[in-house]
Amino acid sequence: MTLQNAGQAGGGRVVFDTQRSDAGNSELQLDLPINGSKVEFWVAGEFQHPSSDYGDAAIEAFASGASVGRRELMVRIRKDATALSAAERDRFLLAIGKLNDAGQGPFQAFRDTHVDKSRSEAHGRPAFPPWHRAYLLDLERELQKIDFRVTLPYWRFDRPAPTLFAMDFLGMPPPQRAQGDVIHFPHGHALEFWKTDGNDPIERRPRYAISGAPPQQVQGQDNVISQQATMALGATYPEFRWMEIAPHGSAHTSFDGPINSVPTAAKDPLFFMLHANVDRLWAFWQWLNHRTDPNDAASFSLAVPPGQQPPPPRPGNIGHNLTDTMWPWNGSITPPRPTFTPPRGPFPQSPIGSPPGAQPIVRDMIDYQGVRGADALGFDYDDVPFELPAGVVA
């Protein structure tokens, strides 16, 4: 039996191996036992060959030169928002618009999760990257319940993104500040009736020329937001954690409006695309420095970043240790956890697997690709390879 990549030209591509590896090929020969017992093989999307729709990737099986079976599929990964096709863009907008449902849908729970009372769960402490990784994955799985082809695109904020900040995508505010910062989408746009907190529309105004990338200085603030600067922070987790200040914080403050502040940022769908890029930067840093082993202090540590003041005391640093469950998915209302009813329930499963389980812990978010034997979480980025560390056997 011969398995072959058989997708459409320019569509998603797959590779095969007899075991989980980072050295797959577009063709695989298999010997099938006469008794009909199963033979396992491994299949994955080929790096930098993602799908744009279901069915543009496929596996075809041949025996004695004749096709005996074909399975269409999709190499589904998170992409740069400016690289989306019009169809991919519209599917994402329709899904998140339905999730919002003019303020009546499940999106409000995501907005209510990222508020001032939950700040210490997600910010200023070691679990900033893991917590937001879980938060994004929760949202993405809800979007995929609406349209399984959708992934969460990222705003690469160190590059110009004029097609993202356009009326057919995330919109632009009126040209004159006197008219306010409210974005009025054209009739028929998926975000036309976007609401959070009852009746708030999307409000956003850039502090820079939107045709370019945010400059290093935005209204006098040190706005270090380049990928190169992020990777140069250091090869250990305490050093890398500086990225919460910049580029993360700097990207938020390159706009006026709710996106500018922790308690209100999640009202704007741009928040999730901004954080998808923050998570992508962490993923890229993990790959670059081989930091996927949660037991290695260089991959995750409670240590305070050099030159940074420790956060206010929090009993046992709860929520930020490797084996701590994460709020809101753990359902806790016991101090020092937030004492209000968690807006989100148990973590949703995916049709392709159950990880990280109903109550994820911090360590579940670190080896997200499963390169060290953990269960993969089911997402990837278009420019972060899958690579098994030296000495690790799949």
Q: Are 192 and 202 in contact (CB under 8 A)?
A: no
Q: What is the DSSP string of 241-296?
A: GGGGIIIIIHHHTTEESGGGSTTTGGGSTHHHHHHHHHHHHHHHHHHHHT---TTS
Q: Are 99 and 146 in contact (CB under 8 A)?
A: yes
**pLDDT tens figures, 132-178:** 999 999 999 999 999 999 999 999 999 999 999 999 999 987 665 55
- Picking from 239, 364, 255, 243, the residue whose alpha carbon sits closest to that of residue 289 is 239
Structure token digits, residue 343:
């807006």
Pairing mode of beta strands 2-5, 57-63: antiparallel
Question: Which residue is associated with the tokens 């191996």?
Answer: 17
Q: Is the peptide bond before 305 cis (omega within 30 degrees of 0)?
A: no
- Picking from 191, 23, 178, 174, the residue whose alpha carbon sits closest to that of residue 100 is 191
Please state, in angstroms and rounded to a whole number, the distance separating the CA atoms of residues 363 and 100: 30
Q: Are 63 and 8 in contact (CB under 8 A)?
A: no
Query: What is the rounded end-to-end Cα distance, in angstroms, of the chain?
Result: 24
Please state, in angstroms and rounded to a whole number, the distance separating the CA atoms of residues 44 and 16: 7
**pLDDT tens figures, 6-43:** 999 999 999 999 999 999 999 999 999 999 999 999 99
- Picking from 85, 79, 91, the residue whose alpha carbon sits closest to that of residue 147 is 91
* H helices present in 147-261, as ranges: 227-231, 237-240, 250-252
Structure token digits, residue 353:
């697997």
pLDDT at position 136 is: 98
pLDDT at position 352 is: 79
Residues of the chain scoring pLDDT < 70: 174-180, 216-224, 393-394
- Picking from 351, 378, 315, the residue whose alpha carbon sits closest to that of residue 134 is 378
Please state, in angstroms and rounded to a whole number, the distance separating the CA atoms of residues 300 and 224: 23
Question: Which residue is associated with the tokens 């101090």?
Answer: 335
- Picking from 161, 152, 376, the residue whose alpha carbon sits closest to that of residue 280 is 152
Q: Are 326 and 121 in contact (CB under 8 A)?
A: yes
Tell me which DSSP letter residue 269 carries: T
Dihedral over Cα of 262, 366, 133, 166: its sign: positive
Q: Are 385 and 287 in contact (CB under 8 A)?
A: yes
Please state, in angstroms and rounded to a whole number, the distance separating the CA atoms of residues 127 and 366: 10
Question: What is the distance, to the nearest Å, from the Cα of residue 122 to the centroid of all Cα atoms in its chain?
Answer: 15
Q: Are 87 and 273 in contact (CB under 8 A)?
A: no
- What is the SS3 assignment for 381? strand
Please state, in angstroms and rounded to a whole number, the distance separating the CA atoms of residues 280 and 157: 12
